[in-house]
Structure 1
Amino acid sequence: MLALGMVSLITDISAEMVTAVLPLYLVLGLGFSPLQFGLLDGLYSAVTAIVRVLGGHLADRWQRRKLVAGLGYGMSAVAKLGLIAAGGSAAAMGLVLAVDRTGKGLRTAPRDALISLSTPEDQQGRAFGIHRAMDTVGAFLGPLTAFLLLGFVAGGYDTVFFVSFCFATLGVLVFGLFVRDQRGPATTERIPLRASFNLLRGKRFRKIVGWATLLGLVTVGDSFLYLLLQKRLELEPAYIAMLPLGTAGVYLLLAMPFGKLADRIGRWQVFIGGHVLLLLAYALVAGLADGIVLLFGALLAHGMFYAATDGVLMAAVAPLLPEDQRTSGMAVLQTAQAVAKLLSAVAFGAAWTWWGLYPAVLVACGALAIVVAGAMFRLREAR
């Protein structure tokens, strides 16, 4: 688990360097409209949705989780060089980002399955919390590195992309050398791909997937949130790369405590509570606060949201899945979330383009409030 945490730390430095500058590069540098950016952001989720279930199924069928995850890490590393070659072409940029997201889609479920299979059931929340905390160190250092590079090299987006490639390559090397596989006997019978979706016949697993998908549909992407903060606070464009640091810092401090809390009081309760915090972040951006209160309040609530949801959801679902289909089940859940976020990104980008900024944010707040209230009611009913 610690080796995987180190791989994620290094890889996230690479990934978050790109994520931090991409809104600036596309919207302010290349002149993309919010709708175009929403479509491209949605493409991220679309590609991962296509490959996650297939990758999870093959990892379980071959019992080669490390192999599938390693392939994903390698594809994302190569894609960082592709960003330099793409130049200002929207089509080329979309293709390169599709390769990057394919890599992420392949690696995420096998990586989480490796963590789960190497951890006792009553410590799943703690294990995912430790991993996500290490992962978030990378998420913290990535935007900081990008910001420093842009400060020293005017318009140095290619420099950011190349340094990102170097970190990604280092992550692949550490993964290959130090991560142990969790392998059972390879399945000899021909298991159809639909067996992954047959896991949804389990009532508890199906409910978690359903509610996680609904919540994903009403979640605005991180890039949009940072663009909204930049507009509300009238920050210099270059400072967009610094905003993820606030989220990452809070996430880093609280990922393990929230994981332990989830093990103690209930993982689903903590997961829903995280979305209440996200609703607070949206309300602050929508006009509930201004100035320094808006900046610190929104980033604090956003970081707490991730600490309460990201690893906690995987810890909640892991005990509901058989070990030989652990990767497949996690991939089904992650695919459902990816499709939901695709639709959400496109819908919010379109709403911003057609209605304007504040009406779009208010609609997002209302939709999230309705779904969170429904999830809380169902939780109380289940108790």
Structure 2
Amino acid sequence: MYITLRRDTPAPGRRALSAVPANVIALGAVSLVTDVSSEMVTAVLPLYLALTLGLTPLQLGFVDALSFGATALLRPAGARVADRWRHKPVAAAGYALSALAKLGVLAAGAALGPLAAAIVADRTGKGLRTAPRDALIAASAPAGGEGLAFGVHRAMDTVGALLGPLAAFAVLAATGGTYRAVFVVSFCVAAFGVVLLALYVRDRPGPTPPAPPLRTVLRDRRLWRMCAVAAGLGAFTMSDFFVYLLLQRSGAVPLRYFPLLPLGTAAVYLLLAVPLGRLADRVGRARVLLGGHLALVAATLLLAGTPAAAPMVVGVLLLHGLFYASTDGVLMALAGPLLRDSSRTTGLAMVQTAQAAARFVSSLAAGALWAAWGPRAALLVMAAGLLAAVLAAARGLR
């Protein structure tokens, strides 16, 4: 018996990827470039604040919380404008503001107030762009393929997260550890992302459907249920800021390699985002979402209870990447189909706002717990709270 393999028959994985709309790929390219810029700054900022400026754990928690607070406040407003107008211009404004904020970080120098303002501006830009961008992805994806579309987008986004720390490390090595050079290069990369958005991303076709009154959107019980789930899980999510700083302070990671820590998370995310997006479409997005948060519980406990060594670092980064691959795009893929098309951007923004507001509280709480009782107590409290939140969310999503 002979088996003939036709060359024009794509493999199942390639066939699935070929179904991803071009607009999703274009948005992924914009996010990739923007994430290179953002992660260049993120990779060096914790160390810059802790060592150069000498901030305490409580102050670090406050600065980290500012980023979540800014996005929480701006996302609903930006989304409402996008629902009543167009998605692309609002997203473009957010990307442009984040690019300009890199110049603010450069100008702030060692002054904490202006530096905090620049961080708020950067997160404000993220708050404006995220919901319109996700609504464009949801509108571009075929029915039943939202998980794959978001997974592909997030995978491309994570390529940027992978390249950003490498770029920061290379710039620091080439300039003798000059942080200002990192901020300059970051701005140039972010500006290129804005150009890509203007040239290649297409807004939703046809006239903009009339947005329902806000009170109608707020009456949607499914929306409030998703907001409650996102807030409950976000309230006990340990920030990347603290995860990487605690890994370095454990003594298992030399100081010069600190900017490379996000690479571990990003590499795992990149490998798993698309497979987990497809898995979520098949077995249920809620299951994958909650499984990802259990991975974060395990990472937090590992960081709290394991002696500092290379296997601990690898384990934490593997679980951290699994957490993001299972939750980042999956939450939006879970919420998107539940919302009306005319108010989807506002609805997604409200879910993201609930999550960001909870992360604001989480960062403040983690910093306060660390300052009062030490990092191990902070980790254990956050892990216990997140486990309880997962159990509550499992009941709420039935």
**Which of 17, 23, 33 is residue 10 of structure 1 equivalent to?**
33
**Paired residue for 1:158?**
180
User: How far did residue 188 of structure 1 move?
Assistant: 6.5
**Which of 220, 226, 233 is residue 208 of structure 1 equivalent to?**
226
1: CA distance, partners of 2:218 / 2:169: 43
Matched, 1:132 2:150: no
**Paired residue for 2:61?**
38
1: CA distance, partners of 2:88 / 2:130: 11
**SS in structure 1 opposite 2:207?**
coil
**Paired residue for 2:76?**
53
On the 8 A contact 2:296/2:319 being kept in 1, the answer is yes
User: How far did residue 369 of structure 1 move?
Assistant: 1.7
**Paired residue for 2:297?**
279
1:331-376 CA distance string (max 9 Å, x none): 0011111100000001101111111111111111111122122223
**Paired residue for 2:281?**
263
**Which of 54, 77, 88 is residue 110 of structure 2 equivalent to?**
88
Matched, 1:180 2:198: no
On the 8 A contact 1:47/1:105 being kept in 2, the answer is yes
User: How far did residue 204 of structure 1 move?
Assistant: 2.8
**Paired residue for 1:107?**
129
User: How far did residue 378 of structure 1 move?
Assistant: 4.6
1: CA distance, partners of 2:210 / 2:290: 40
Query: After superposition, where does 1:223-234 map in structure 2 within 5 Å?
Result: 223-234=241-252
One-letter amino acid matched to 1:154: G
1:220-239 CA distance string (max 9 Å, x none): 11010001111123422232
User: How far did residue 37 of structure 1 move?
Assistant: 1.1
**Paired residue for 2:380?**
362
Using a 3 Å threshold, how does the CA distance of structure 1 residues 207 and 352 change in structure 2: closer, same or farther?
A: same
**SS in structure 2 opposite 1:243?**
helix
When structure 1 is superposed on structure 2, of 180-189 and 225-234 the one drifting more is 180-189
Q: Number of paired residues?
A: 375
User: How far did residue 158 of structure 1 move?
Assistant: 0.4
Using a 3 Å threshold, how does the CA distance of structure 1 residues 337 and 378 change in structure 2: closer, same or farther?
A: closer
Ranges in structure 2 where 5+ consecutive residues have no aligned partner: 1-23
Using a 3 Å threshold, how does the CA distance of structure 1 residues 49 and 184 change in structure 2: closer, same or farther?
A: farther
On the 8 A contact 1:24/1:238 being kept in 2, the answer is no
One-letter amino acid matched to 2:130: T
**Paired residue for 1:328?**
346
Using a 3 Å threshold, how does the CA distance of structure 1 residues 187 and 253 change in structure 2: closer, same or farther?
A: closer
**SS in structure 2 opposite 1:164?**
helix
**Paired residue for 1:342?**
360
On the 8 A contact 2:32/2:159 being kept in 1, the answer is yes
**SS in structure 1 opposite 2:55?**
coil
User: How far did residue 284 of structure 1 move?
Assistant: 0.7
One-letter amino acid matched to 2:348: M
**Paired residue for 1:314?**
332
Matched, 1:28 2:51: yes
**Paired residue for 2:17?**
none
2: CA distance, partners of 1:137 / 1:122: 25
1: CA distance, partners of 2:347 / 2:390: 24
**SS in structure 1 opposite 2:110?**
coil
1: CA distance, partners of 2:220 / 2:73: 23
**Paired residue for 2:140?**
118
When structure 1 is superposed on structure 2, of 126-135 and 32-41 the one drifting more is 32-41
1: CA distance, partners of 2:133 / 2:392: 31
On the 8 A contact 2:252/2:313 being kept in 1, the answer is no
Query: After superposition, where does 1:240-259 map in structure 2 within 5 Å?
Result: 240-259=258-277
One-letter amino acid matched to 2:265: T
One-letter amino acid matched to 1:355: W
On the 8 A contact 2:229/2:396 being kept in 1, the answer is no
1: CA distance, partners of 2:297 / 2:258: 21
Using a 3 Å threshold, how does the CA distance of structure 1 residues 187 and 124 change in structure 2: closer, same or farther?
A: closer
On the 8 A contact 1:65/1:183 being kept in 2, the answer is no
Ranges in structure 1 where 5+ consecutive residues have no aligned partner: none
1:12-55 CA distance string (max 9 Å, x none): 00000001100011111111111111101111111111110000
User: How far did residue 201 of structure 1 move?
Assistant: 2.9
**Paired residue for 2:322?**
304
2: CA distance, partners of 1:353 / 1:223: 15
**SS in structure 2 opposite 1:23?**
helix
Determine what percentage of the aligned residue pairs are the same residue. 52
1:156-213 CA distance string (max 9 Å, x none): 1000000000100000000000000015534678x65x44xx4343333322211111
1:52-81 CA distance string (max 9 Å, x none): 00000000011x100000000000001111
2: CA distance, partners of 1:123 / 1:333: 20
One-letter amino acid matched to 1:371: A
One-letter amino acid matched to 1:44: S
1: CA distance, partners of 2:310 / 2:217: 47
**Larger gyration radius, structure 1 or structure 2:** 2
**SS in structure 1 opposite 2:282?**
helix
Q: Give the RMSD, CA atoms, in angstroms.
A: 1.4
One-letter amino acid matched to 2:39: E
When structure 1 is superposed on structure 2, of 9-18 and 354-363 the one drifting more is 354-363
**Paired residue for 1:372?**
390
